[in-house]
């Protein structure tokens, strides 16, 4: 069961009161759990609390934090760069994630049809998702979509002229990074493949007896039974996409340019916190990010009632 499923069932099966549970292993458990507990406190919870506090302060590492109430949040709403970075990130999430998942699903279904060479194709499609997060690939992307880059050389061979430098043109730069995200569809594809394997063959056999076409088999059997996995992938990919950083950073040389067209939210946060050392503001931005991600996840869960189908 997935982490998400686990959380959901835990929420549903809350323990009834009155039943006293036995805890015979308290002592050894403390020993086993000690690293995790220390990490939870020192690396996660306390920093979270500190970050919340800092978000209400003006703090630059040099002087003590100065309490300024909601000023950071007010400033954020008037910060044009922040708003633009939100927009860029939203476009990236809303366009990139569905595109990537659709491609992952399409190829998983195609691969699941019992063709020869499955493991070969699977490896090829999976490889980019392992390499895609690296600086090396971002460097390659910079060349490919540059003015004289690989893409334009191909387009030039097709007789096209006046080609833009895709990463230096504000209207296309974000598109190249979305494309890089789509290119890494291998990992959701693997999850889809594992999900397809779980669908009982008898459904397809029954449908074949009834003379269902390939398309209607996909629409009526595969897709509904796969919705929990689509949902799982969607939630995870949305959470990840909001935090995407490396590619935009490297492709734009750390600036988020041209004219902020690849200034992702996390990139702006990095600039604020770690190049301008405006750490109060960066903390406030981090909390806004958390709220936005939580909202998207909550909406995903709410909407899932209308389209996710559980076969039990």
Partner 1 sequence: MTDQLTTPAPSAVTTPAPAPANASTLRRRRTRRVGPVVRHAILIIASLVMIYPLLWMVVSSLRPNSEIFRNPGLLPIRFNVENYVNGWHALAQPFSHYLLNSTFLVLGCVVGNVIACSLTAYAFARLRFWGRNIAFAVMLMTLMLPIHVVIVPQYIMFSQTGWVNTMLPLILPKFLATDAFFVFLMVQFIRGIPKELDEAARIDGCGHFRIFFRVIMPLMTPAIATTVIFTFMWMWNDFFGSLIYLTTPDNFTVPLALRAFLDSQGTSDWGAMFAMSVLSLVPLFIVFLFGQRFLIRGFATTGIK
**Interactions with partner 1, residue window 186-205 (CB under 8 A):** 187, 190-191, 193-195, 197-198, 201, 204-205
| Span near partner 1 by CB under 8 A; candidates 68-76, 81-89, 185-193, 303-311 | 185-193
**Binders of partner 1 in range 139-168 (CB under 8 A):** 139-140, 142-144, 146, 148-150, 153-154, 157
Is 273 near partner 1 (CB under 8 A)? yes
> Which residues have C-beta within 8 Å of that of residue 201, sequence separation ≥ 6?
none
Continuous segment of H or E residues that includes residue 60: none
CB of 124 to partner 1, least distance (A): 4
CB of 54 closer than 8 Å to CB of 68:
no
Closest distance to partner 1 from the beta carbon of 137 (Å): 8
Least distance in Å: CB of 154 to partner 1?
Answer: 5
Contact 235, 164 (CB under 8 A): no
In this complex, which beta carbon is closest to partner 1, that of residue 99 or of residue 140?
140
Kindly state the smallest distance separating residue 119's Cβ from partner 1, in Å: 8
Using CB under 8 A, which residues numbered 204 to 243 contact partner 1? 204-205, 208, 211, 213-214, 217, 228-229, 232-233, 239, 242-243
Task: Tell whether residue 301 is a contact of partner 1 (CB under 8 A).
Answer: no
Is the separation of the CB atoms in 252 and 266 below 8 Å?
Answer: no
174 binds partner 1, rule: CB under 8 A = no
Gap between the Cα atoms of 216 and 308, Å rounded: 18
Task: Tell me if 259 contacts partner 1 by CB under 8 A.
Answer: no
Note whether 283 binds partner 1 by CB under 8 A: yes
Please report whether residue 298 would count as binding partner 1 according to CB under 8 A.
Answer: no
User: How far apart are CB 194 and partner 1 at their closest, in Å?
Assistant: 4
- CA distances 309 to 101, 106, 192, 195, Å, are 18, 19, 15, 13
Burial (CB < 10 A; 0-12, 13-18, 19+), residue 246, is middle
73 is an interface residue for partner 1 by CB under 8 A: no
Check residue 58 and report its DSSP letter. E
Any contact of residue 108 with partner 1 (CB under 8 A)? no
Residue 290 found at the interface with partner 1 (CB under 8 A):
yes
- Check if the beta carbon of residue 292 is closer than 8 Å to that of residue 242: yes
Q: Verify binding: residue 312, partner 1, rule CB under 8 A.
A: no
Of 60, 134, 171, 259, which lies in the binding site for partner 1, with binding defined by CB under 8 A? Answer: 134
- If binding is defined by CB under 8 A, does position 173 make contact with partner 1? no
- State yes or no: residue 60 binds partner 1 (CB under 8 A): no
Give whole-number Cα distances, 16 to 20, 95, 246, in Å: 10, 44, 46
> Is residue 36 a contact point for partner 1 (CB under 8 A)?
yes
Output the CA–CA distances (angstroms, integers) from residue 207 to 105, 107, 223, in the order listed.
21, 22, 14
In angstroms, what is the minimal distance from the CB of 31 to partner 1? 8
State the Cα–Cα distance between residues 9 and 3, nearest whole angstrom.
10
Strand pairing class (66-67; 57-58): antiparallel
Q: Nearest approach, Cβ of 74 to partner 1 (angstroms)?
A: 19
Side-chain-facing half-sphere of 285: CA atoms under 13 Å: 28
Comparison of 130 and 303: residue with beta carbon closer to partner 1: 130
């Amino acid at each position: 069961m997935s982490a998400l499923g686990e959380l959901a069932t835990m929420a549903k099966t809350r323990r009834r009161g009155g039943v006293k549970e036995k805890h015979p292993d308290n002592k050894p458990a403390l020993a086993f759990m000690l690293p995790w507990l220390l990490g939870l406190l020192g690396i996660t919870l306390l920093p979270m609390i500190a970050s919340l506090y800092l978000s209400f302060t003006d703090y630059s590492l040099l002087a003590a934090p100065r309490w300024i109430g909601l000023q950071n949040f007010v400033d954020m709403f008037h910060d044009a760069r922040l708003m633009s970075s939100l927009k860029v990130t939203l476009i990236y999430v809303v366009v990139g994630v569905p595109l990537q998942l659709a491609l992952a699903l399409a190829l998983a279904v195609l691969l699941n049809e019992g063709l020869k060479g499955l493991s070969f194709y699977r490896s090829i499609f999976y490889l980019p998702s392992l390499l895609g997060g690296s600086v090396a690939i971002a460097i390659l992307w910079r060349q490919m979509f540059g003015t004289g880059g690989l893409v334009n050389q191909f387009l030039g061979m097709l007789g096209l002229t006046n080609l833009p430098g895709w990463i230096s043109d504000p209207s296309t730069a974000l598109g190249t990074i979305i494309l890089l995200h789509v290119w890494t569809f291998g990992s959701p594809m693997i999850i889809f493949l594992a999900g397809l394997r779980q669908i009982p063959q008898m459904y397809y056999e029954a449908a074949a007896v009834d003379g269902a076409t390939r398309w209607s088999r996909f629409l009526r059997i595969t897709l509904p039974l796969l919705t929990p996995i689509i949902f799982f992938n969607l939630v995870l990919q949305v959470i990840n996409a909001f935090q995407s950083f490396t590619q935009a950073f490297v492709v734009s040389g750390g600036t988020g340019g041209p004219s902020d067209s690849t200034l992702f939210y996390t990139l702006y946060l990095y600039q604020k916190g770690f190049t301008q050392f405006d750490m109060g503001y960066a903390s406030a931005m981090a909390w806004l990010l958390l709220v936005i991600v939580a909202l998207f996840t909550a909406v995903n869960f709410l909407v899932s009632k209308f389209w996710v189908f559980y076969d039990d």
